[in-house]
A and B are shown apart, each in its own frame.
Chain A
Amino acid sequence: MNGWRNLYFLCIFAEEHNFLHQGVSYFEKGELLLIAEGDEQVFFKFYAHYSNQIRPFLLNYTRSETDVEDIIQETFVRVWVNRDRLPGIDNIGGWIYRIASRVYLDHIERDIKHRDRKASFGEAMYGSGMVVPSERTHLNEVSHIIQVVLNNLSEQKRNIFRLNREMQMKPGQIAAELNIPVGTVKNNLSAILQEIRKALAAAGYGPLALLILMHPLTDFF
């Protein structure tokens, strides 16, 4: 059974590798490690680089600049909650594009369904000023799910996460502050991100999240 599973992943890996040959990663291991530990400054560089690559496509294939930013936002929230796995991902550019593509498709599908509903009720029902903020609701949902996870963390995990996110403290600094081993801090941070990813998957951000969880490029080695 195990053999079959490995074979399956091997196929996906091979196919993907050929299809999305992007060459070496633009960001060095050191920078990815910093991002993995929650460094917002370095992540901004990372975000700027990749989001600017994706924007031209989105601008040409969505209806407004707001749509572009919404898709970028959701894409990079997903990247961000996977930050602890970044150093282990082989083709980061390709990985990000895959996430963006799926977010894009979901967005289009939602938008069309929403327009359909609007059309069938007739414009009169919505009036001139009433815009149903489907995209806003959607993005808020993602945030909400994450907040629920954060609210249910144990006290220690909550402290560690807070120090990391609000005070931008590195694991070493957190370990010193809380008087616990650095390894514990790192494990806890990773565990929290895992919980967030599981919650997102459970809430119906399914196929994509599962894809990330089972992504062969990291599980392979």
Chain B
Amino acid sequence: MNQNRLTYLLKQYASGKLTSDEQQELARLLTETDREELAQYITTIAQQNDLPRIIINEERSATTFRNIMAADKPASPAIDVPWWRINFRRLSIAATLVLSFSAAIYLITRNDKKNSVAGSQVTPVKPEKPAGRNTAVLYLADNSVVELDSINNGLITTQGGSQVMLANGQLAYVAPDKKATTIAYNKITTPRGGEYSITLSDGTKVWLNAASSLKFPTAFTGKKREVELTGEAYMDVAKDQHHPFEVKIGNVNVAVHGTEFNIMGYEDENQIVTTLVSGSVAISANANAPLTLVPGEHAVVKNNNSDMIVEKADVEEETAWKNGRTYFNGANIRQIMRQIARWYDVDVQYKGDVANLDFTCTVSRKDKLSKLLGLMELTGAVHFTMEGNTIIVQP
């Protein structure tokens, strides 16, 4: 085999300059030469040191890695399990229904007046929408965007030295062994109808609810570990007494050491509620002196005020979402509908005199919309129809 000739032909091929004759020659060469011999020669060229240096495109390399990992990942089943087939080992659906039925009977109503619905021109459509899912968007330090989906597992990219890994709908940042030289900020946002969980480089786990965002450094290098939140998140902060963890949300600052808590600060709720599950947190509004919570309490800051109320909390209600449940315990219908709007990505409209009803019910977050609304309708106190993507709430 004429090695120089082969090298020449390959270079011509690579630069798109192969003439028709040369192409035929190359084809013949490849077919007729012993593959082993060819491979050995290619290896020699490939290992030469005089090849021009190139810049590695980390994003592209990461994408390729994801594809490699996907090659032998067992394909997920495509079947949608009907709700009555879900196994009964966990919170059984039957029990949920019973609970909900009795809760429906238990219901506190203020106004029993029902407007009789005159024959309407439009046939009312029963509201239906699938539940939210594991989805989010990751904004990297260089402003590039990664759409996170539970399907693509593997390494996403490297940010400021930290490796960003994705496994089964969870994002994890693996801090570098040596100190990161550049501090890069990433931001993860969930849309309406989305939720995501992420492990930060210090091991802190964050569950992000729908319509929320978390801005965070890819590696914690300063005296404090600081992140910025909008919307709602549940955090399990890794213990590090020397580096307090701080969450900034709206006008509230939450400082923790090693702790589990929930922060809810959706703008349309007009309040920021921090619920402590375990550990200890110190909360300050408008940079005033902080108040400390004990587990089981929550702090409520209303409307960007400096006033803070600390009281006993219904921890189960406030953290149910993180455990895969939608749970209301005497919650106001409007608050319920706001949550539904966020998780099912629908709009809500009120028609007629919809009273301030309180509901108590629980369903799985995976359940379709009709399930939850159906339960509420059983009380007879409220009715739902759907127009396009809007739920109409009527007495």
Give me the interface of A with B, judged by CB distance under 8 Å. 19-20, 40-41, 44, 47-48, 51-52, 54-63, 65, 69, 72-73, 76-77, 80-81, 94, 97-98, 100-102, 104-105, 108-109, 112-113, 115-116, 119, 139, 142-143, 146-147, 150-151, 158, 161-162, 165-168, 196, 207
Contacts and interface: CB of A to CB of B under 8 A. Distances in A.
B119 interface: no
B39 A102 contact: yes
Nearest to A193: B72
Interface string B37-56: 01110110111100111101
Contacts of B54: 55-56, 59
Nearest to A48: B61
Interface residues of B, number: 49
A41 B163 contact: yes
Given A97-B43, A101-B43, A165 B53 contact: no
A62 B74 contact: no
Contact of B72 (A51, A65, A105, A146): A146
B10 A102 contact: no
B71 A146 contact: yes
8 contacts: A54-B46, A56-B51, A57-B48, A65-B60, A112-B30, A150-B75, A165-B72, A165-B74
A17 B65 CA distance: 29
B289 interface: no
B10 A196 contact: no
A40 B46 contact: no
A73 B67 contact: yes
Given A40-B155, A69-B64, A109-B30, A98 B13 contact: no
B98 interface: no
A168 B38 contact: no
B56 A97 contact: no
A114 to B, nearest CB: 11
Nearest to B44: A19
Nearest to B166: A40
Contacts of B155: 40-41, 44
Interface in B146-194: 153-155, 163, 165, 167-168, 174
Interface string B8-19: 001101101000
A59 B47 CA distance: 13
Nearest to B57: A65
Contacts of A80: 68-69, 71-72
A55 to B, nearest CB: 6
B14 A61 contact: yes
Contacts of B153: 40, 166
The 4 A-B pairs with the shortest beta carbon distances in the complex, nearest first, are A57-B46, A101-B42, A101-B39, A56-B51
Contact of A150 (B31, B42, B43, B74): B74
Nearest to A79: B68
Interface of B: 10-11, 13-14, 16, 20, 23, 26-27, 30-31, 35, 38-40, 42-43, 45-48, 51-54, 56-57, 60-61, 63-65, 67-75, 153-155, 163, 165, 167-168, 174
Contacts of B71: 77, 80-81, 142-143, 146
A94 B71 CA distance: 23
Given A101-B40, A116-B27, A165-B74, 8 more contacts: A51-B64, A59-B54, A60-B11, A80-B68, A80-B71, A97-B43, A108-B26, A142-B71
A175 B168 CA distance: 21
Contact of B68 (A54, A65, A77, A102): A77
Contacts of B72: 77, 80-81, 146, 150, 165, 196
Nearest to A165: B73
Chief secondary structure at chain A's binding surface: helix
Given A55-B54, A142-B71, A166-B73, A47 B65 contact: yes
A41 B165 contact: yes
B68 A47 contact: yes
A71 B53 CA distance: 19
Contact of B52 (A60, A73, A76, A161): A60
Nearest to B167: A168
A105 B69 contact: no
Given A55-B54, A100-B46, A60 B61 contact: no
Contacts of B61: 48, 51-52, 69
Contacts of B64: 51, 69, 72-73, 76
B74 A112 contact: no
Given A41-B165, A158-B74, A165-B74, A57 B40 contact: no
A127 B128 CA distance: 45
B23 A115 contact: yes
A146 B64 CA distance: 18
A57 B70 CA distance: 25
A148 B26 CA distance: 35
B7 to A, nearest CB: 9
Given A56-B51, A168-B167, A108 B30 contact: yes
A126 B273 CA distance: 61
B39 A105 contact: yes
Contacts of B26: 108, 112
Contacts of B63: 69
Nearest to B76: A166
Contact of A61 (B10, B39, B167): B10
B10 A98 contact: no
